[in-house]
Structures are given as C-alpha cells and as structure tokens.
C-alpha cells in the first residue's frame, strides 16, 4: 500500500497484507521513492519505506525539520504509525542522498532525536561549508567542523556499537563548498579509522576504491567525478541498506 501525505512530499509504502504490530522504518530524504521502496522491499519485506522529497537544496530540508526537531520528529513518527497501523517501530533508520542531509543534520542537533534513531545511511550526501584553511595555500580549506559535529558524534556512537552508521561518497568536488569525500575524511579522522584501499565493482555501477568498518560504523569510498557517479549512490541505496551493521 502506498500513502501520499496531503501537505508535503512524503510518500509511504508498506505491505498492508501483513499486519505485524512492530515494523522497521526506513525514512529517506531526497531521492526517487520507487528506488527506496524497492531497496527496502528486497531486503526487509515487512518494513515501512517512507521518503520526503522537496524542491531546493539542503536548506529546504533543514526548514522541513524546523526549529523544534524533536516535536516535528515525534509528530511525523506518530503519523507514520497511524497511517500504517503500526503500534511501534522495531528500529528507525534514516537515510539521505545529496541535499537530504540537511534534514538529518537538523534532527541530530537534538539529543532527543538521536535517542530515537537507530541507524543512519548517508549516501554521498554530507556536504559542508568551508572552515579554516589548510597550511598549503594551494589546498582546499577544511570542511566546517561545527557543521559536521552532529555526524562525528553519531559516528562515535556507532564505533561503540550504540548506533549504526553507513557513510559513503564519490570524488565529485564542488568549487564553493566541501565535498562529501572531504567530509567523509573529516569524520573518519575524528573517530580514528582509515579506508582500506581496494579496486572493486559493486552493484549499480559503484566503483569502490576503499572501505572500512569499526564497530557498527561503515564507510565506503567510490571513484568518479561525474554526476552519474554521484547518482549511483542513490541507485545503489539497497547496497547501503544491506551493509548496515544491525543490532540483530
């Protein structure tokens, strides 16, 4: 069954024929719902697939969450439970692609939301403003540490097994702000892990050049500087769902 929310771009898909009291929830920000739906259905057939798509960049998603992230998140979860006749969620996984990270970062700013989130899947999505300069005048500035603190803090929880987190990126490099690769390196440095170099081709055209796992934190780096290499991370969202280090 599919539900369209009347006042937003929220779409929800679940198997109405099955009526478990508890379901896993996958809530995705930015990316074709059909891709998310199929990825969830193939791996977690009893789960609920929900997605939010807005016009605009990360700021639009941050505005969607609003100034009261916990209030908004609890309200949204209650609406999803009512719409799908689900008494409670066994687990809550948030994922995003490209600009969708704006919503997740806003939610992570509230510790009460962090408590509710079990796993994050960040598919070539976490950008940032530039922060302080590197020592070399020819190098790009570092990403903003302040903007990425919520992701670093969540990654630290994943390393200790309290949460699950998948962080992916390609090599596409924006001129005026930090890339997902630069942010990925910042997060890995903060938790003390390094990519293991590989040369592998995964599904959906993902040319993997490195990956690492520590605790329940996983990071995957892929090759490619083109928009198609970026889009491959959305098309391959099912791959990222499959490698989530889960509790059970």
Residue with tokens 């369209």: 4
> Three-class SS of residue 136?
coil
213 lies in some domain = yes
* Closest of 216, 148, 230, 158 to residue 185, by C-alpha: 148
**Tokens of residue 49, six digits:** 């697939």
142-156 mean pLDDT: 95
Q: List the alpha helices (DSSP H) in 120-246.
A: 145-159, 180-191, 227-235, 237-242
Residue with tokens 């995705």: 28
- Where is average pLDDT lowest: 44-48, 110-114, 124-128, 211-215? 44-48
Query: Which residues span the domain enclosing 37?
Result: 1-117
**Tokens of residue 75, six digits:** 């309200």
Per mean pLDDT, which of 2-11, 112-121, 239-248 is the most reliable?
112-121
* Burial of residue 242 (number of CB atoms within 10 Å: 0-12, 13-18, 19+): middle
Tell whether 132 and 108 lie within a shared domain. no
Q: Which of 117, 136, 152 marks a domain boundary?
A: 117
> Three-class SS of residue 77?
helix
Is the pLDDT at 117 greater than 80, yes or no? yes
Beta strands in the chain (DSSP E): 2-4, 10-13, 22-29, 48-52, 88-97, 119-123, 164-169, 196-202, 206-214, 217-222
30 lies in some domain = yes
Q: Are 123 and 168 in contact (CB under 8 A)?
A: yes
244 lies in some domain = no
Using CA atoms, how far apart are residues 170 and 182, in angstroms rounded to an integer? 10
pTM of this prediction exceeds 0.85? yes
Report percent pLDDT > 90 for the chain.
80
Q: What is the pLDDT of residues 47-78, one digit of tens each?
A: 999 999 998 899 999 999 999 999 999 999 99
Tell whether 98 and 23 lie within a shared domain. yes
**Tokens of residue 110, six digits:** 């509230």
Query: What pLDDT sits at residue 197?
Result: 97
9 lies in some domain = yes
246 lies in some domain = no
Is the pLDDT at 135 greater than 80, yes or no? no
Query: What pLDDT sits at residue 1?
Result: 66
Q: What is the pLDDT of residues 157-209, one digit of tens each?
A: 999 999 999 999 999 999 999 999 999 999 999 999 999 999 999 988 899 99
Q: Who has greater pLDDT, 1 or 143?
A: 143
Tell whether 219 and 138 lie within a shared domain. yes
């Amino acid at each position: 069954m599919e539900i369209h929310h009347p006042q937003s771009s929220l779409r929800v898909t679940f198997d109405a024929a099955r009526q478990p009291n508890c379901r896993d929830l996958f809530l995705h920000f930015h990316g074709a719902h059909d891709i998310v739906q199929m990825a969830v259905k193939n791996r977690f057939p009893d789960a609920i697939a929900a997605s939010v798509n807005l016009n605009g960049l990360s700021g639009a998603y941050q505005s969607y969450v609003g100034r009261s992230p916990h209030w908004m998140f609890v309200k949204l979860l209650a609406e999803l439970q009512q719409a799908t006749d689900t008494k409670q969620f066994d687990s809550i996984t948030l994922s995003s692609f490209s600009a969708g990270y704006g919503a997740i970062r806003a939610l992570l700013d509230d510790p009460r939301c962090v408590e509710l989130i079990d796993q994050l899947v960040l598919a070539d999505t976490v950008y940032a403003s530039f922060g302080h300069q590197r020592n070399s005048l020819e190098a790009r500035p570092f990403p903003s540490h302040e903007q990425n603190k919520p992701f670093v803090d969540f990654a630290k929880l994943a390393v200790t097994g309290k949460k699950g987190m998948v962080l992916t990126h390609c090599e596409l490099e924006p001129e005026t702000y930090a890339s997902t690769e630069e942010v990925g390196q910042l997060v890995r440095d903060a938790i003390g892990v390094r990519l293991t170099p590989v040369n592998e081709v995964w599904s959906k055209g993902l040319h993997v050049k490195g990956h690492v796992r520590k605790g329940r934190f996983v990071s995957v780096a892929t090759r490619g500087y083109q928009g198609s290499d970026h889009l491959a991370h959305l098309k391959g969202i099912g791959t990222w769902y499959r490698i989530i280090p889960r509790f059970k």
